[in-house]
Structure 1
Amino acid sequence: MKRVSIIGVGMTKFSRYPELTIRNLTHLSVEQALKDADVEKKEIEAIFFANSMAGFITGQECIRGQVSLWGSGLSGIPIYNIENACASGSTAFNLASMAVELGQYNTVLVVGTEKLYHVDRKKTLLALAAATDVEKIQGEQKSSVFLESYAKRAKQYMELYGAEPMHLAKIASKNRFHASLNPLAQYRERLDIEEILASPKVADPLTRLMCSPIGDGSAAIVLSNRSVSNRKNLNKAVSIAASVIRSGSSDTENGNSAVDLAIQKAYFVAGVDPSDVDLAEVHDATSPAELFLYESLGFAKQGEGIRLIENSDTTLGGKIPINTSGGLVSKGNPSGATGVAQICEIVWQLRGDAGERQVQNAKVGLTHNSGGRIGEDSAAVGIHIFKV
């Protein structure tokens, strides 16, 4: 997208906020992004608002963006409500970037906000289960269908390639280390492999500390036409090299899963290959998901992802740092905000603003965000590649 740049980002700390509303959280991230971009509210021409679970958790449907931005000084302009499970944020970003690239708008906001925590845990589980084919879910939902799916695939991978629970725990421990350097992460306490393995089992071989937590948060991005961004914050502008959304299908064999097809197109559009990527934020809803993605994204050959873990290649200072933010397992995973927050992290890294977790000389960053489940595939996948 030659005419589109990210000129500002902002996000709240991901946590549990029983005292804050979706509106409160949205206003916080939006104000930060506008300040970072040095853009006045009157310059924002449209807002692409991502949220996935509000209907279940708060009861708000239909006009989630309009309600969340009420009182922000941004009402009255076009507000597009985007819902695509946990890929809502990356989907909103995709649509917003196309609108700017095509000249419909010069400067827009992308916002992802979610309140996933509820005192009644059953509400949260029902909300998450709704991101699957509900006709296939029978009886009362007592655990996450996603955890069971990840656990099943992890067992299969372990049998095929000799991976062990230790490898999964090392990924979780690595992301806890990264999160300890990120003031916006939900969980910042460093944990070693033994502590992660000793935490309660949720779906064998997964322990609780290998799984992303329930939480709330908001993230926002200012996108602008390059002719506008050249006048402001030129040193902060990050270019979008590729923005790809794919949906799952029944044809997941032979490299035809949603992530396989999305990454192939993203690398082609961006004109890069996996060896060009300096860092990535991936959708590690569970630690084995990150392991699978090492291979799906081309950072390791099939069955060799565990070598990246053993060699600490995906840790800060390694060959391809993954989830420098802490990832979903440690930074948090408030569904509608997740994809936007991933992009914020890549922007900070490419601008050299990531502080203690800075990847040196980062020039190309990638985000992978997935949402929901359809058949044996992710229902939605968003891949974005960024350059400076």
Structure 2
Amino acid sequence: MSARDVAVLGAAMHPWGKWGRGFVEYGVKAARDALADAGVDWRDVGSIVGADTVRGGYPGYVSGATFAKALGWQGARVTSVYAACASGAQAVQTARTQILAGLADVVLVVGADAAPKGFFRPAGGDRPDDPDWLRFRVLGATNPAYFGLYARRRMAVHGDTLADFAQVKVKNAAMGALNPYARYRKTVTTEEVAASAVVADPLRLLDICATSDGAAALVLSSVDFARRHGAPDPVRIRAVSTVTPEYPQTVLDLPDIATDSAAVAAPPARPFRAAIAHAAYEEAGIGPDELSLAEVYDLSTALELQWYEDLALCGEGEAAKLLRDGATALGGRVPVNASGGLASFGEAVPAQAIAQVCELTWQLRGTAGARQVPGARVGITANQGLFGHGSSVIAVR
């Protein structure tokens, strides 16, 4: 056990979908269920950390206080954090830091969103120094267009095929069908993926995740508190990586579009997503060969394949073979997205990195039901937030 471990006492989610209600309602439901799962009274929580949503107006910008008020003011510390899709990991890191610093024994972490229909648009006004804003405004490249560019690059560089991309969706849909919190609980075939509408060539509709409403919450505590509370062997968070890219990469780690590598004096040691995972492994003292499962950020089927390589589950260019061999399916060497992933949930941005930790918690407890990974002991999450926010959590049992 590491001296920097914190315990996961409670984990809960509000089901993903399009429910037509506000993010506060979703978050409060997840928070109360997480407290019940932990067996902790709200009045015993010393701090609440909220992952912000930019779609919720001012209450979304101060989500920690918003949830504290909705649950009932009781004097706890409050923090609100924003890091786009990495907001949940930043919230977990903030809670962990407070616990390890002795500022609180028990911290509630909550993220919730009520997403618009269609793809996300840039928020927060003009940002001409932000490559993400520029790709929207100058290139007109929405998120699906960006995903398509990534897919096309993998096809050109590594020989990935449309059938490989479709198989990722088939795998994740099969696991998502077993998850009561997933929005899409229906298995699909490769033929159905191929027959779905082209959105951003080569990606079809079923290759790309939706936008969703949803929420997730965790109750974290010191290991000593967990033991006193009757949990002698809790799931523990051992590492949280929130690293940034290394110069000269762009903050988005763009897929080598119209770039001239000869003009780069010294390339970074590793690509951004690989650096996110490396930092988590290094902090945890754990290698990829020790993983029982992984929850990754599958905005598109092609991006999931990229994560296999970035997490060092296989060598560069070997992701499709790993998939074809069944290694990342339930029953394989290292199941990826046993929850069903974003393919089955869609994006509820501030909640998704927290939801990944919920899945690790249930898997490591052995309570994931029909999608249980047998003997799960170590799990990793991975995603990234815009403007250089890393996001990876390693949990152990």
TM-score normalised by the chain length of structure 1: 0.91
Partner of 1:109: 108
1:32 alignment partner, SS class: helix
| Superposed displacement of residue 115, structure 1 | 1.0
Consecutive unaligned residues of structure 1, counting only runs of 5 or more, are none
Tell me whether 1:243 sits opposite 2:240 in the alignment: yes
1:34 alignment partner, SS class: helix
| Superposed displacement of residue 64, structure 1 | 2.9
Partner of 1:22: 23
Partner of 1:165: 162
Cα distance, 1:210–1:236 mapped onto 2, change above 3 Å: farther
Tell me whether 1:196 sits opposite 2:213 in the alignment: no
Equivalent residue runs for 1:125-144 within 5 Å: 125-127=121-123, 133=131, 136-137=134-135, 139=137, 144=142
Partner of 1:311: 325
Confirm or deny: 8 A CA contact 2:193 2:204 kept in the other structure.
yes
1:13 alignment partner, SS class: strand
> Whole-Å Cα distance in 2 between the matches of residues 318 and 154 of structure 1?
24
Partner of 2:83: 84
| Superposed displacement of residue 53, structure 1 | 2.6
Superposed CA offset, 1:90-139 (max 9, x none): 11101111110121111101111111135xx58x4344998954652565
2:282 alignment partner, SS class: helix
Superposed CA offset, 1:45-68 (max 9, x none): 11110023325xx56454233224
> Whole-Å Cα distance in 2 between the matches of residues 10 and 233 of structure 1?
19
Residue identity in the other structure for 2:241: V
Cα distance, 1:314–1:221 mapped onto 2, change above 3 Å: same
1:125 alignment partner, SS class: coil
1:207 to 201, 204, 207: 204
1:7 to 6, 9, 19: 9
Partner of 1:269: 283
1:184 alignment partner, SS class: coil
Confirm or deny: 8 A CA contact 2:48 2:76 kept in the other structure.
yes
Tell me whether 1:220 sits opposite 2:217 in the alignment: yes
Tell me whether 1:288 sits opposite 2:306 in the alignment: no
Partner of 1:387: 396
Sequence identity percentage: 30
TM-score normalised by the chain length of structure 2: 0.89
| Superposed displacement of residue 142, structure 1 | 6.7
| Superposed displacement of residue 369, structure 1 | 2.0
Tell me whether 1:73 sits opposite 2:72 in the alignment: yes
| Superposed displacement of residue 363, structure 1 | 0.5
Confirm or deny: 8 A CA contact 1:26 1:69 kept in the other structure.
no
Partner of 1:348: 362
> Whole-Å Cα distance in 2 between the matches of residues 114 and 66 of structure 1?
15
Cα distance, 1:155–1:86 mapped onto 2, change above 3 Å: same
Superposed CA offset, 1:143-187 (max 9, x none): 62x322221122121112211011001001100000000010010
1:147 to 144, 162, 165: 144
Equivalent residue runs for 1:25-64 within 5 Å: 25-55=26-56, 58=57, 60=59, 62-64=61-63
Cα distance, 1:222–1:191 mapped onto 2, change above 3 Å: same
Residue identity in the other structure for 1:171: V
Cα distance, 1:206–1:134 mapped onto 2, change above 3 Å: closer
| Superposed displacement of residue 4, structure 1 | 1.5
Residue identity in the other structure for 1:136: L
> Whole-Å Cα distance in 1 between the matches of residues 238 and 140 of structure 2?
42
Residue identity in the other structure for 1:293: W
Residue identity in the other structure for 2:148: A
Cα distance, 1:340–1:128 mapped onto 2, change above 3 Å: farther
2:192 alignment partner, SS class: helix
Partner of 2:256: none
> Whole-Å Cα distance in 2 between the matches of residues 358 and 240 of structure 1?
19
2:243 alignment partner, SS class: strand
Cα distance, 1:348–1:191 mapped onto 2, change above 3 Å: same
Superposed CA offset, 1:312-364 (max 9, x none): 11110011100000001112220000000000000000000100000000000
Cα distance, 1:236–1:222 mapped onto 2, change above 3 Å: farther
2:242 alignment partner, SS class: strand
Residue identity in the other structure for 1:273: G
Residue identity in the other structure for 2:307: L
Count the aligned residue pairs.
376
Cα distance, 1:151–1:180 mapped onto 2, change above 3 Å: same
Residue identity in the other structure for 2:115: L
1:71 alignment partner, SS class: helix
Consecutive unaligned residues of structure 2, counting only runs of 5 or more, are 250-266
Confirm or deny: 8 A CA contact 1:10 1:344 kept in the other structure.
yes
